[in-house]
Structure formats: structure tokens, C-alpha cells
Amino acid sequence: VQTMLAEFKSEYRCFKYFEECDSFIRPEVFSVGEHPVLNNKSTTQHPVLALKKIEIQKIPLRRVLQKFLELPNVYNILQQYLQEEDSKPSSVLSNVFQGSLWQSMKTKFGNRTVFPLYMFFDDFESCNPLGSKAGIHKIGAVYVSLACIPPEYSSILENVFLAQLFYSKDRTTVGNGKIFSKLLEEFKYL
């Protein structure tokens, strides 16, 4: 048993193994600005003001969605559901496919297959959210899901994909434009 698990002895080896199997998509780290911090661990007696990079981590959606759509029968299920919903009468709106925005998008893209995406944003606390330091470790997360996933599968966590992580306080420092710029580039590519 120990020999079988030898290549999983460290986090580095685990990630390396899963990358070689093409089962792990490493997040990309981007610097989007800097902010001043006091460095009390300076070699001098006085604190030193230093600049710290503001970084975001973005998971490449093009790879995530490609892997998802390559799973057995997933593409066919999505395509079938999209066609079923698209053919329903538009007198009652029950989803995005029956709205005027989707109808205009269909004409724009012609015969190409287009799957609409839902994007969600939320902040969460990674430590004790009720303590005296609440908000210090707050992280912003952006999630994406395909709008054409049938209802019976749409709320399953495996069908909601993490797209980006960042410190929430950094969003107030550099603004939404810089925090979400790489994600917007990804959406434009898709």
C-alpha cells in the first residue's frame, strides 16, 4: 500500500500527478495593483512602509468548460435541453431561453452552438465570522454555471464552477474594473 501511495506523499506530487493525467486545472495568478502596508519586522527600529501586490486567482474557464463538455453524454444532454426549451411557446417566460435577449443572441450567432452562462459573485468568511476580527479574512468568489443545464442537475455543486478568488478588501482598494478585468477577458474569449 505504501508503494502505491508513494507518488502522493506531498501536495506538490499530488498536483503534479493530476496535472499529468490532465485532471487538474491550475489557477492563474495575476497582479492587479499594489497597496501600502506597514512592515514591523524591519531590521531597523522603526516600521517601514512597503508596497504589497494585490493578486487575484483566476481559473481558466475555457479549460474547465472544455473538460465538462467532454464528459460522457454531457454535451448531448445540454444540447437537447436547449432545443426543448427553445421550442416552447414564449407566452410564459420560465427561463432565459424564452426571453428577447436570448432570441437576439441566437440570430447574432446564426447556426453556431452557444451555451449561455450564469455568473454569481459572493463574499465568504474563511475564519471566525463572529469574532472581533470579522471581515479581515473575507474572500470574494465568482462562480459560473451553464444556463442550459436541466433543472434536475443545475443545483448540483459539481455543475457550478469556481472562476475567480480574491480578497474582498482589495476590490474596494483597486475597484471592480481591475478585479474583474481578467475574468471579462475570459468571457469575451468564450
* pLDDT surpassing 80 at residue 107: yes
Q: Is-contact 143 165, C-beta < 8 A?
A: no
Mean pLDDT of all residues in 117-136:
77
pLDDT, greater one: 27 or 105? 27
* pLDDT surpassing 60 at residue 103: yes
pLDDT, greater one: 36 or 141? 141
Mean pLDDT of all residues in 17-41:
85
DSSP string of 49-65, one letter each residue: EEEEEEEEEE--HHHHH
Q: Is beta strand 48-58 parallel, antiparallel or unpaired with respect to 161-167?
A: antiparallel
Query: In degrees rounded to 5, what are phi and psi of residue 187?
Result: -65, -40
Separation of alpha carbons 51 and 72, rounded Å = 48
Mean pLDDT of all residues in 58-69:
94
pLDDT, greater one: 75 or 82? 75
Mean pLDDT of all residues in 96-120:
84
Q: Is-contact 29 55, C-beta < 8 A?
A: yes
Separation of alpha carbons 45 and 148, rounded Å = 61
Percent of all residues in the chain with a pLDDT value above 70, rounded to a whole number: 91
Residue with cell 454555471: 145
Q: What is the pLDDT of residue 27?
A: 92
Mean pLDDT of all residues in 20-36:
88
Separation of alpha carbons 158 and 150, rounded Å = 14
Give the 3-state secondary structure of residue 154.
Answer: helix
Calculate the average pLDDT of the chain.
85
Cα-atom radius of gyration of the chain, to the nearest Å? 22
**Grid coordinates in use for 168?**
474582498
pTM equals 0.80
Res. 74 pLDDT band, cuts 50 70 90: very high
Mean pLDDT of all residues in 141-170:
92
